[in-house]
Amino acid sequence: MIDQLFEFVQNHPLLVGAFLLVLTAWIAYEVRNSAASGVTSSEATQLINREDAVVLDTREAGDFKAGHIAGARNIPQSRIDERLGELDKVKEKPIIVVCKSGQSSGVTVAKLAKAGFPRALKLKGGMMQWQADGLPVVKK
C-alpha cells in the first residue's frame, strides 16, 4: 500500500503539489476563521455578566430544549433572515451566537454584521465546548 502511494507521488507530482497547496490554503482559512470574532466560554460568561450580552442559539428547537445557556434566545439558523427583526432592540449589545459545535455560527455572525450588528461574536466550540467546560445549561 505504501509502495503504491510512493509510486503515485512519483508519477503525478503536479497533482500531488496541487493537492498540498489546496490543503494548506484550506487549513489556513479554517484557522483564520476560527480565531476571527469568536469568544471562549469564559469570555462569553464575562460578556453576559458585565455587559448584558444576548445569547442567540441557532440550533433547532429540539436541541435547544434539550439544553441551552440560561437566557438564550432560540432562532434556528434556517430562519435567521426572516426573524432578524426580533434582535433590533439589542442591536448595540454584544450578541453571542451559539450553535452545536461552533462551525456553523460564523454564517449567522456574518449575516448579523451585514445587517448592522457591530458586536456579533460566535462562541468557539459551541454548546459542546460550553458543556465540556462544565458550565450550566437550562433544559425546557
Beta partners for residue 74, in sequence order: 57
Which of 97, 99, 112, 127 is the catalytic position?
99
User: For the purposes of burial, counting CB atoms within 10 Å of the CB of 95, is it exposed (0-12), middle (13-18) or buried (19 or more)?
Assistant: buried
% of the chain exceeding 90 in pLDDT: 78
Distance between alpha carbon 135 and the CA centroid of its chain, in Å? 18
* CA pair distance 82, 63, nearest whole angstrom: 20
pLDDT at position 34, please?
61
Domain parsing of the chain, residue ranges: 2-34, 37-132
* CA pair distance 83, 33, nearest whole angstrom: 25
99 counts as catalytic: yes
Task: Taking residues 122-126, report their average pLDDT.
Answer: 92
Q: Tell me the pLDDT band of 102, cut-offs 50, 70 and 90.
A: confident
Instruction: Tell me the three cell numbers of residue 132.
Output: 465540556
pLDDT at position 37, please?
61
CB atoms within 10 A of CB 96: 26
Task: Taking residues 70-80, report their average pLDDT.
Answer: 94
Does the CA dihedral 24-25-30-36 come out positive or negative?
positive
pLDDT at position 82, please?
93
Q: pTM here? A: 0.75
CATH H-level, domain 37-132: superfamily: Rhodanese-like domain (3.40.250.10)
The per-residue pLDDT for range 10-66, each reduced to its tens digit, is 999 999 999 999 999 998 887 776 655 689 999 999 999 999 999 999 999 999 999
